[in-house]
Structure 1
Amino acid sequence: MQLTDAQRLDWLRLIRTEGVGPRSFRALINRFGGAAAALEALPALARRQGRPAVLFTQAQAEDEVAALDRIGGRLIAAGEVDYPRLLHRTDAAPPLLALRGAPILNRPAVAVVGSRNASTAGLAFAERLTRGLGESGLTIVSGLARGIDVRAHRASLSTGTVAVMAGGQDRIYPASHAALVDAILGEGGAVLAEMPMGWEPRGRDFPRRNRIISGLSYGTIVVEAARRSGSLITARFALDQNREVFAVPGSPLDPRAEGTNDLIRQGATLVSDVSHVLDVLGPIIEGGPEAEAAPARGGPDLAEQPDFWDEIDLDAYLPNSAPPHAPRGRPDTATDEIGFDPPEPADDRARIIALLGPCPVGTDELARCAGVGARVVQSVLLELELDGRIERHGSGTVSLVSR
């Protein structure tokens, strides 16, 4: 399928119209045979439900397409050649995606996600794992967040990475990652967004983004995640989409490992080496996007949450046309674990302490992750040692003493 320019504008108008989300979009297209006809029918449908029809105008659609074109982006529609086939097979797949960069969305991919407040050990392992997976031919998908996401993107720049944004293409979050976006685009990677140009991400937009991250990928790897974690939502989506879930084990003394350890206990594949991922995904990838997926296993214990989209209820008017309900996500919230990045630690000492954990790490790696010199690290470590907060090990490694 290839939309004409006029059809693409109609699709954009329909999905941007108030009360229309991925589920109702598909129902309307199936019922009326096209977006133009659905737009004509919407006012009458809305009146039956006692709500006004606020249609996205032709001028608004043209302005959005022009704004996206000015920054080198374009809209790809579900069913078109560049639209990711794996994502297309999921419930509530976005009808339209804004794409900047190379059309690499149909290469075999794996998602790598994890804590925004990652430890030095977690960052180092994520880099090693991601680089090995990239060198083995897998594209790396992640969410451009601080911590594990950024380390995964940077480690796979030369082999191919896809960044999925929670806001519009012109609203990079956090703004400090604009240079990384430029590097991704410059190295032949891709940047995706579901939301319109100018859209500032809200709390509920991060889970929406997460179902795209897992939907693009044959499997999702979680590296460090607390029990209340946006990374666990990505894992839940992966399970709902019949994709593989992998988890990196961590110290039971580190709260950042509680979520990943729980995933392993619930049946996720333990990962401590690149081969652990390749052994599972190799046969699945050989089957291609159309291969039958394995039955989903039990997911993490997440409570039922409100729908992402405030969609008009079409069931009474469009019988037998509505697709299954979309996955459920978290409501608006500005917590670190669910979406928004926490503020950067105010000083070098706080940054170094945040990177320490129960697992021993080398001082050179600690300095690299903290972005400070070796002398600064040694000074802070001496202060922490005198305070009884760290333990020194062989080969110049240190760990935080659990209290």
Structure 2
Amino acid sequence: MHDHLREWIALSELPGIGPAGLLRLMQPESGCSAAQTSLLQLSHNQLQSLNLPARTIHHIRGYQRGEWPDREYLQEIDRWLQQPCNHLVTFICDRYPPLLKQISDPPLLLYISGDPELLHLPQLAIVGSRSASRSGIALSRSFASDLTAAGITITSGLARGVDGAAHMAAVALSKPTVAVLGSGLMNVYPRQHQSLADDIIRLGGALVSEYPLTMAPLPHNFPRRNRIISGLSAGVLVVEAARRSGSLITARLALEQGREVFALPGALNNPQSHGCHDLIREGATLIETSAQIIEPLASLLGSYCYDEQREAPDSIKLTDAEAVLLEQIGYQLITLEQLIGVTGLNAPVLLPQLVAMELSGYIENTPDGYQRLI
């Protein structure tokens, strides 16, 4: 392994000091040399003068003795880098994404499986609930498909729910997408998305992580990785989010980073919509169509103009009874008991109609009631 990669790996894994603190120490005005190796070459007294934590100094001294990082560990990274699709990009490398470099605490290095050049293209993050409703999944796929067709690279976190649906939409179009992991790239999480991760690489996309290759998906990793999702992207679309969710962390980080934030409104009694409503009150742009996202990002796409195509209402084949029932369901969640009261029909008559409409994709049966999808 080249010495400069060993140095950056050591810097990125120093305990007791984060990327922002390290980058400050690497500036000329900090009293250290601007060279990335300077901190690792300082004497014990010099390190103590910087008021670094004892464990940080301990690891730096271990680096100077050649004891840390462990030789076997570095050999494992070397073997991984020998595969043609794998890359390790440092903060000072030309391949480092320029937009990510602008945030307050950019990662010192990125492990990338796939195409690192993709991180330089216009990206939009799509994030949302892991336990999204069927409507939320459908919206994530729809917006991701439209935006991918418009030339925007979709970036998300490979999680279940909204994230996975967004990646799958790009994969279905055989287009690249970027997945930022909260674990190491040799430990894809969730496991059920391993085949999706493989498809992303195969189609020219990229898996990205700042964490060591075999790092487990620890809970505190995910809020940290969210700054990378927003930092890589020109904007963030939140599809569904509860009030306490990682998606809101991503959106608020995006606002702090000066990125565009978009949110989809939802039913007032759907807890997964409350986070989006909060964001809209805080200044996020309320979105109903993909074109409303593409317009403010048009400068990134040159003169490209996207003509949004939607399924015409008359192409949806409803029976007369289904059309009437759909109007009575409306766009708010409604329980079976409420439907019985509104329609005057009893449950044995209503339930077969509701099941047929759910199978046709016209409505969704959620734990809180029925929701119209068209």
Name the TM tier (shorter chain). 0.7 to 0.9
TM superposition shift of 1:286:
5.3
Change (3 A) 1:188 1:395: closer
Q: Any conservation in 1 of the 2:241–2:247 contact (CA below 8 Å)?
A: yes
Query: Which deviates more, 66-75 or 251-260?
Result: 66-75
TM superposition shift of 1:132:
0.5
Q: Any conservation in 1 of the 2:26–2:33 contact (CA below 8 Å)?
A: yes
Counterpart among 54, 60, 70 of residue 59 in structure 2 = 54
Deviations 1:144-163, CA, capped at 9 Å, x for gaps: 00000000001012222000
Q: How do 1:269-308 and structure 2 match up within 5 A?
A: 269-283=285-299
**Other structure's SS at 2:131 match:** coil
Q: Distance in 2 between matches of 1:116 and 1:152?
A: 12
**Other structure's SS at 1:220 match:** strand
Q: Any conservation in 1 of the 2:157–2:229 contact (CA below 8 Å)?
A: yes
**Other structure's SS at 2:224 match:** helix
Change (3 A) 1:36 1:269: same
Q: How do 1:313-392 and structure 2 match up within 5 A?
A: 358=332
Partner of 1:28: 25
Partner of 2:2: 5
**Other structure's SS at 1:74 match:** strand
Deviations 1:360-388, CA, capped at 9 Å, x for gaps: 9xxxxxxxxxxxxxxxxxxxxx99x76xx
Q: Any conservation in 2 of the 1:215–1:241 contact (CA below 8 Å)?
A: yes
Q: Any conservation in 2 of the 1:79–1:88 contact (CA below 8 Å)?
A: no
Letter in 2 for 1:22: P
Counterpart among 222, 225, 229 of residue 213 in structure 1 = 229
1:17 counterpart = 2:22: no
Q: Any conservation in 2 of the 1:392–1:399 contact (CA below 8 Å)?
A: no
Unpaired runs of 5+ residues, structure 1, are: 288-356, 361-381
Change (3 A) 1:25 1:187: same
Letter in 2 for 1:126: S
Deviations 1:100-150, CA, capped at 9 Å, x for gaps: 101210000000000000111111111111000000000000000000000
Moved over 6 A (4+): 389-395
TM-score where L is the length of structure 2: 0.75
**Other structure's SS at 2:22 match:** helix
TM superposition shift of 1:33:
2.6
Q: Distance in 2 between matches of 1:99 and 1:68?
A: 11
Q: Any conservation in 2 of the 1:391–1:401 contact (CA below 8 Å)?
A: no
TM superposition shift of 1:212:
0.1
Unpaired runs of 5+ residues, structure 2, are: 304-330, 335-346, 370-374
TM superposition shift of 1:44:
3.4
TM superposition shift of 1:19:
2.2
1:192 counterpart = 2:208: yes
Higher share of residues assigned helix: 2
Q: Any conservation in 2 of the 1:390–1:401 contact (CA below 8 Å)?
A: no
Partner of 2:159: 145
Q: Which has the higher contact order (CA 8 A, sep 6+)?
A: 1
Partner of 1:372: none
Q: Any conservation in 1 of the 2:122–2:300 contact (CA below 8 Å)?
A: no
Q: Distance in 1 between matches of 2:367 and 2:259?
A: 37
Change (3 A) 1:232 1:195: same
Letter in 2 for 1:171: N
Q: Pairwise CA RMSD of aligned residues?
A: 3.0
Q: Distance in 2 between matches of 1:168 and 1:402?
A: 37
Partner of 1:314: none
Q: Distance in 2 between matches of 1:274 and 1:110?
A: 12
TM superposition shift of 1:11:
1.5
Change (3 A) 1:43 1:16: farther
1:240 counterpart = 2:241: no
TM-score where L is the length of structure 1: 0.70
Deviations 1:286-319, CA, capped at 9 Å, x for gaps: 59xxxxxxxxxxxxxxxxxxxxxxxxxxxxxxxx
1:63 counterpart = 2:29: no
Change (3 A) 1:285 1:243: farther
Q: Any conservation in 1 of the 2:261–2:284 contact (CA below 8 Å)?
A: yes
Deviations 1:269-290, CA, capped at 9 Å, x for gaps: 1111110001111136659xxx
Q: Any conservation in 2 of the 1:113–1:220 contact (CA below 8 Å)?
A: yes
Aligned residues: 309
TM superposition shift of 1:24:
2.3
TM superposition shift of 1:61:
6.3
**Other structure's SS at 2:119 match:** coil
Q: Distance in 2 between matches of 1:86 and 1:66?
A: 28
Letter in 1 for 2:7: D
Q: Distance in 1 between matches of 2:43 and 2:16?
A: 10
TM superposition shift of 1:390:
9.2
